[in-house]
A and B are shown apart, each in its own frame.
Chain A
Amino acid sequence: MAAVDQIGQDRGGIEGIVDSILEEYGGVQGMLFLVPSLVLLAGIVFYPMVVNGLVLSFQDFTLNPNAADPFVGLENYQYWLLGSGQALFLFSVKVTVLYELLVVPFDLVVALGAALLMNEKFELPGLGIETRAFWRGLMLAGYASPAIAAGLTWGIMEQAAEYGIVYQAATMFFDVPASGGITGNRPWAFWGVVIAKVWRDFGFMYVVFLAGVQSIPSALYEISKVDGANPIQRFRYITLPHLRTVIVTVVMIRTVFTVGKLAIPLATTQGGPVNYTRVLGLVIFDVAFGEWALGRAAALGMLFAVSIIPLILIWIKTETEDY
């Protein structure tokens, strides 16, 4: 802490020297605070990532824990980049990018709408009871649900059956094929997954935006009303500029944290029809714990990790900028 250092510098003579030594040790003391979490992280993140993850990607994994896994060189990487896994790899990269490009903006729009709406007052007419807090809580219903439960429910509602109410509602507006319903047909399955994902996830952005909207001084809106600004202008020139930094940060967080997620596609469509909603995370999951080809899956994971490093670096750069 800068303030602490200043005390040391203010004192002269031997005391000053002692303090400056303490200051040096103060630095080490700071590192002592890191010991518990660094030991934990070393044991459960760094060690397995390097020793089990990286090494495994060069091995052919055998399920027998007593047998050594033979090294196969670059064969696992070759499988994904040049061999018979190439088509699935490239296709799932496309699916993942498309998924990100749809989910994050939808999240943003829905969450912003919800936050602006929940900043309004909802008094019961005549009774004067403010019900806003209750609605604010209900808005978090999706975010509170387990992703698997959300995906499962939306998947059932999207099936072409008597109980598939979302499918039945969709047939009123769109030409959804009766065989397979939303989850079983190509363009629709993707939207089915996106709806479930946005339903599950928009709560995080909503909470952040609500806090942001609440921190805007209400005097600004009152002045702008006197000046004759309409609601759209007020949103454009007061709300949006105030939320700009929050929006940028949150969109970045969402992008990073959506990229490897697989629970919603797994529960809603199981990656189908064919591979149409099989995001990269789901491919790794299936290869690892469905086919038990852990070496291959680890190689794909490494490729995945390398490809998202730029994304993570951008995020970390903005996080550490204010140091």
Chain B
Amino acid sequence: MATQDGPATEKFSFERSGSRFSWEDHYKPVVKYIALGVFLAWIMLPVYYTGVNSLKGPGQIFQTAMGIPYVTFDPLPFGNLIAIITGQVALVPGSGGSFQGLSAWRTMWDAFPFVEYLLATTVVSVGTAGLATVAAVFSAYAFARLDFPAKTPLFVLSVMGFTFPIVLLAIPIFVLMQDLTLLNTYLGMILAFTAFTLPYNIWLLRGFFEDLPDNLEESARVDGCTQIGAFFRVILPLSRPAIASVFLLAFLLAWHNFLMAFILGNDPLHTTLAPAILQLRGTFFVKNLHYIMAGTFLSMFVPILMYMYLQTHLVEGLSSGGGVKG
């Protein structure tokens, strides 16, 4: 562009770009796409690696770790297709490793109670997020918009559980749950997960409530609302999206937590996916690496899809919560 500028605009073009080839017009588009490529290669590497290798047969990963498995068709193409769909047969190995259909996933499914883990994870995550969000809405509102004695010390106490590393909470909570005979129960896990999601939710929601206009309650009370009425009729409906994203973040925090789930549950029905993945390493050693790949891939893929689908909610929750406001 700079080279096409006539004498009339010379003053501006001179100031805009020191050389004839400006950064904006010539280098930036190229650098931009190269940078995107490098970033995505790094970010997608584990996802691609586990995904591709989960489709290969035993030992194929030793021949080629990065190759895409493909099918060399034999004279009976339908046989191949059926074998792929049912996942029964190892097909003619090609350079990319033989295509195993979803047999690695299926074997892992059979040997490893994946569905049970998924179910337990969902129950615990929903329970935790529900409990933590409901309790947090009230106290976050009080911390953000009400005045009462000892407010700051109470706030510090309330968020302390989140600033403390979970490993420090894990031992006392384990002993407590053992005393209450709540090991290997959903209730025990939900309560334990709430120990660190509740402070987080209070902290995030306080930020949201503080951002609401100052005179909301005042207007509501002029219109005849009580203080609690103002909270239920004005503040809560206004912050529904914020509450939704905080619920979602608590859900994912519970979904991803490894430590608490590891110590509180050891039977498949009552532990979550995160510690189950670690067990994959023990269950399938090097020879059956493709099973580990299948399990790891599934455990990453589900939340990645959720993140991509619910991106705007999550981004809103993460970025406008207390403390991280610009």
- B-binding residues in A (CB < 8 A): 1-7, 26-31, 33-38, 40-41, 43-49, 51-53, 56, 65, 113-114, 117, 120, 122, 133, 135-150, 152-154, 156-157, 161-166, 199, 204, 207-208, 210-212, 215, 225-228, 230-231, 242-243, 245-246, 249-250, 253, 256-257, 259-263, 266-267, 281, 284-285, 288-289, 294, 297-298, 301, 304-305, 308, 312, 315-316, 318-320, 323
| A260 touching B165 in the complex, CB below 8 Å, given contacts A1-B146, A44-B195 | yes
Interface SS of chain B:
helix
A289 to B47, CA, bound (A): 30
- Contact assessment for B171 and A207 in the assembled complex, using a CB-CB cutoff below 8 Å: no
- Contact assessment for B324 and A144 in the assembled complex, using a CB-CB cutoff below 8 Å: no
- Residue from A26, A150, A259, A312 in contact with B146 in the complex, judged by beta carbons closer than 8 Å: A26
- Contact assessment for B62 and A163 in the assembled complex, using a CB-CB cutoff below 8 Å: yes
Interface SS of chain A:
helix
- Contact assessment for B12 and A304 in the assembled complex, using a CB-CB cutoff below 8 Å: no
> In angstroms, how far is the closest chain B Cβ from the Cβ of A113?
8
In the bound complex, residues from chain A placing their C-beta under 8 Å from that of B218 are 1, 3-4, 6-7
For residue B82, CB closer than 8 A to chain A, the reply is no
In the bound complex, residues from chain B placing their C-beta under 8 Å from that of A142 are 43, 46
5 examples of A-B residue contacts, CB within 8 angstroms = A45-B161, A137-B308, A146-B299, A285-B167, A323-B152
Q: Which residue of A lies closest to B188 (CB)?
A: A44
For residue B281, CB closer than 8 A to chain A, the reply is yes
In the bound complex, residues from chain B placing their C-beta under 8 Å from that of A37 are 135-136, 138-139, 158, 198, 202
| A28 touching B163 in the complex, CB below 8 Å, given contacts A37-B139, A210-B315, A245-B326 | no
- Contact assessment for B46 and A154 in the assembled complex, using a CB-CB cutoff below 8 Å: yes
> In angstroms, how far is the closest chain A Cβ from the Cβ of B77?
30
- Contact assessment for B300 and A144 in the assembled complex, using a CB-CB cutoff below 8 Å: yes
A3 to B222, CA, bound (A): 11
In the bound complex, residues from chain B placing their C-beta under 8 Å from that of A319 are 159, 203, 322-323
| A289 touching B227 in the complex, CB below 8 Å, given contacts A49-B169, A146-B273, A204-B318 | no
> In angstroms, how far is the closest chain A Cβ from the Cβ of B199?
7
In the bound complex, residues from chain B placing their C-beta under 8 Å from that of A242 are 326
A41 to B152, CA, bound (A): 16
> In angstroms, how far is the closest chain B Cβ from the Cβ of A282?
8
A52 to B174, CA, bound (A): 9
In the bound complex, residues from chain A placing their C-beta under 8 Å from that of B311 are 133, 136-137, 140
Mask for B278-307, Cβ within 8 A of A = 1, else 0?
101100000001001000100110011011
4 A-B pairs with the lowest CB-CB distances in the bound complex, closest first: A260-B165, A30-B146, A48-B172, A211-B319
> In angstroms, how far is the closest chain A Cβ from the Cβ of B1?
12
- Of B85-93, B102-110, B257-265, the one contacting chain A is B257-265
- Contact assessment for B319 and A288 in the assembled complex, using a CB-CB cutoff below 8 Å: no
- A-binding residues in B (CB < 8 A): 12, 15-16, 18, 23-24, 28, 32-33, 35-36, 39-40, 42-47, 49-50, 53, 61-63, 65-66, 131, 134-136, 138-139, 141-142, 145-149, 151-152, 154-161, 163-176, 178-179, 191-192, 194-195, 198-199, 202-203, 214-215, 217-218, 221-222, 227-228, 252, 255-256, 258-259, 262-263, 273-275, 277-278, 280-281, 289, 292, 296, 299-300, 303-304, 306-308, 311, 314-315, 318-320, 322-324, 326
- Residue from B36, B141, B152 in contact with A117 in the complex, judged by beta carbons closer than 8 Å: B36
- Residue from B146, B280, B318 in contact with A33 in the complex, judged by beta carbons closer than 8 Å: B146
- Residue from A44, A288, A316 in contact with B163 in the complex, judged by beta carbons closer than 8 Å: A316
- Contact assessment for A305 and B198 in the assembled complex, using a CB-CB cutoff below 8 Å: no
| A281 touching B61 in the complex, CB below 8 Å, given contacts A1-B218, A37-B138, A117-B32 | no
Counting chain B CB atoms within 10 Å of each CB, which of A34, A46, A114, A305 scores highest? A34
- Contact assessment for A228 and B15 in the assembled complex, using a CB-CB cutoff below 8 Å: yes
- Residue from B159, B217, B263, B323 in contact with A1 in the complex, judged by beta carbons closer than 8 Å: B217
- Contact assessment for A212 and B326 in the assembled complex, using a CB-CB cutoff below 8 Å: yes
- Contact assessment for A140 and B324 in the assembled complex, using a CB-CB cutoff below 8 Å: no
A146 to B255, CA, bound (A): 8
> In angstroms, how far is the closest chain B Cβ from the Cβ of A114?
6
Q: Which residue of A lies closest to B148 (CB)?
A: A30
- Contact assessment for A117 and B217 in the assembled complex, using a CB-CB cutoff below 8 Å: no
- Contact assessment for B198 and A40 in the assembled complex, using a CB-CB cutoff below 8 Å: yes
